[in-house]
Structures are given as structure tokens and as C-alpha cells.
Amino acid sequence: MTPAGSSGGRQPVHRCTACGRHDLVPFADLGEIPVYCGVHWASREEALASPLGRMWLAYCPECGYVRNLAFDPAVLVYDTTMDTNLHHSPAFGVFSAELVKHLAGRFPLRGGTVLDVGCGQGEFLRELCHVAACRGVGYDAMYAGPTGPDPSGATFVRGHARLDADTPPFDLVTSRHWFEHLDDPYSFLVRLRELAGDRPAYGYLEVPDAGYDLATAGWEVIYPHVSYFDGYSLRRIVERAGWRMLATGRLFAGMFRYVEISVNAPPPVNGTELPGGESPGPVDRDRQLASIAGFAERHAAERERWRSTIDRLVAAGDRPVLWGAGSRGVQFLHLADPDRRLAAVVDVNPRKWGRYLPVTGHEVSDPATLAGSGTRSVIITNPAYRDEIDAALRQLGVRAELLVA
Ligand SMILES: [Zn+2]
């Protein structure tokens, strides 16, 4: 396979992080993209000056794992100014609450301890501690709330999980939308396996599904995501790190991938399995390899298609807007609207209102500002939020066509 675009410089040799059996092969050079897609700036000047980083995707022919070969952990520093919180969306809130019920029913957690690595603002862990009657320790460099014990039974640590000798013994480790950010996800799993020692332990990991991200336009191919896992490569990495895979599947309209793992523990007999359970094998790997083969071309075509779509909507006087200033939105704006031709960018998170998005400098507004604005086209980058955005538009009295990018 020929890598698309210029590969610029010598190719570093990088052994597959997931299976460890093959060197990674470059397949798509997306050039420079925003590093901080979860940060919003107080001024347009700061936003325009925010850093870029290179996205140079490579894959493993053996297991279908994908990684950014150009990732540089030194340029991406996580702190409390970042807001990657998805809990402002009702759809994500409902999904998360269902997941808490599932985990509390499936694993023996009563009186036990859950580690949540990459806990965000702690909503999920608090709820899990409450519903499962267990303790929890949450770690996140982006956690901005009070540290120390919380009435829910959760304790929060602001900073990356050190996973050292002070880490409490745990019955379940959860990590949602953090594993793909790690420079070395294999060592992370090995370390957790070591910490479990002879104790029975379970794990729940959730990542964006690479089968979705690489088979679509790729708006979720963002700098903070170092790794892209589908079911097969996720299975390979957890098993190579000494864990047993209990179940894997896709959730949230197929955009998320989960894996449940265990060590020294029997498969859980209580509760129910999550929907979409799969047993990924070489067939899944081959499907993933087919998505990878078409990705660079599809990504470039989608970028061009949306640039010309925005041109057409602006020319027709539609006052097109983007709804959703999360990481997908930031990536979409960088690729499809670098010259800020859209009439507005809106988001339901009030912390973003009046602030500016990285690199392109779009200002984020309250969706309520769309009422009476004459907008006839609303672009969204995340189909999972389609229904809630559609309902919100109707409530605002905005008669606009929803365009899913
Ligand atoms: Zn591999």
C-alpha cells in the first residue's frame, strides 16, 4: 500500500503496540491538525496561535491496529482547562447511566473498590459508587472538582494515575475514552495486571471504535487519539498484556467500542451482557484492513465535499451553522471551514459560550442565539446526537435542514 501524501522524513520503525508481531506500515498522512481539540480559548488571538501536531497514521497488517506515528507526548499536556466532558449531552448521560446499571449488576462490586483511570469530572464514578455501593478512586489531570473523599464513596486525584505501590487494591478498573490517548497502552494494561497480583479483578475499557472512525469521514481522527482500536486489535492487546477478554462489542450507535476483561476471576454469572457482543477474529481484522485501505482517499474526498457544500450554502444565503464544538466539531472546522465561512458554531455546554476554538478561531455561541437568525442549514458531525439536536431546534422555532457530516 502506498501512503497518501508526503510522508516527510524517515519512517520511524514502530513495532505494533497491540499484537507486538509486526512493524507498523504508514497509510495516511493528514498533515498538521489541532493538538488541543478539547480546549476553548478566551480570545481569538490565543485560539489562532494554538499548537498544531502531525497526524501520520500507520497500521499493523497482522492485527489491524492503527496509530499516529508522529504523536509527540511533549506537545500535549492535559490540565484542568480542558473540557472534553460529554455529560452535557442528554444522550450521553442516558447512555452512561445505563452503563452504570450494567456494571453494578454484572460484577461483584458491593463493598469493593473501583479504579477509574481518566475519570473526567467524576460523574460516572460517583454514580457507579452510589448504585453499586462500592468505593472508588478516580484519576484525571483534567479533573477540576474537589479532591479527596466525596459523599458518594469516590475519591478523586487530580493528575495521571501513577499505578505505583500506593494504588489501592481494586476489584474493577474502568477507563472510558482514555486508553486511546496513551502513548503506551500496552504497558498500561501490563501494569494493571501486575497490580492485580493474585486477586480476582475485572476491567471495563471503552474507546472510540476504529471500525467506525476509519470507515467514515474520520472527524474523530484527532491528535489526542494516539491509537485506533477495533474489536480484534483490542482483543490482541488485552490478551498479550495477560488479561482474559470476557466480552467486546459496539455501543452508542456503533461509535464506541467496549471490552470487558478479567484476571484470576471466573466469568461473571450475574447481570446481563451488553448488547452487540462479538468474538472478533481474522474476519474482523480483514474488514478493518479494508477500511484502512480506503481511508486516505475517503478522508480527502469528505474534506473537499464539505468545503464545497459550505460554499454552496453560504452562496444560497442559508446562514449554515455547526452544532457541536467538541473534538469532532473542531476537527471538522479545521478541515472543512478554515476560513470561517459558517454563520455560527453553537454548543450546549455553557462553559464554551463566548470562547474560541483552536486553530480556526471560531467563536462558540449558545444554541438559543439561532432563534430568529434565519439559519436554514445545521451541520452536525455526530449522528448519535441527531434526535436531541432536532428536538432542540424545533423548540427554538428554527426550521433548518440537519446535515450529518
Ligand atoms: Zn498488530
> Each residue of 391-401: pLDDT tens digit?
999 999 999 99
**Residue 179 C-alpha to ligand 1 middle, in angstroms?**
16
pLDDT value of residue 279: 86
pLDDT digits 0-9 by tens, 59-87? 999 999 999 999 999 999 888 777 666 66
Burial class (CB within 10 angstroms; exposed 0-12, middle 13-18, buried 19+) of 48: middle
**Sheet order of strands, 277-278 included:** 148-149, 154-158, 135-140, 113-117, 172-176, 201-208, 256-263, 244-251, 277-278
Q: Of residues 337 and 270, which shows the higher confidence score? A: 337
Provide the residues around ligand 1 (an ion) whose CB is within 5 A.
16, 18-19, 60, 62-63, 65
**Residue 282 C-alpha to ligand 1 middle, in angstroms?**
12
pLDDT value of residue 150: 85
Task: Provide the grid cell at 276.
Answer: 452487540
pLDDT digits 0-9 by tens, 266-324? 888 777 788 767 889 899 999 999 999 999 999 999 999 999 999 999 999 999 999 99
**Residue 87 C-alpha to ligand 1 middle, in angstroms?**
33
Instruction: Note the Cα 210 to chain centre separation in Å.
Output: 10
The domains located in the chain, with CATH, are 90-288 (3.40.50.150), 308-404 (3.40.50.720)
Distance between CA atoms of residues 223 and 37, nearest Å? 8
**Residue 69 C-alpha to ligand 1 middle, in angstroms?**
14
Burial class (CB within 10 angstroms; exposed 0-12, middle 13-18, buried 19+) of 90: middle
pLDDT value of residue 83: 62
**Residue 105 C-alpha to ligand 1 middle, in angstroms?**
34
Reported pTM: 0.91
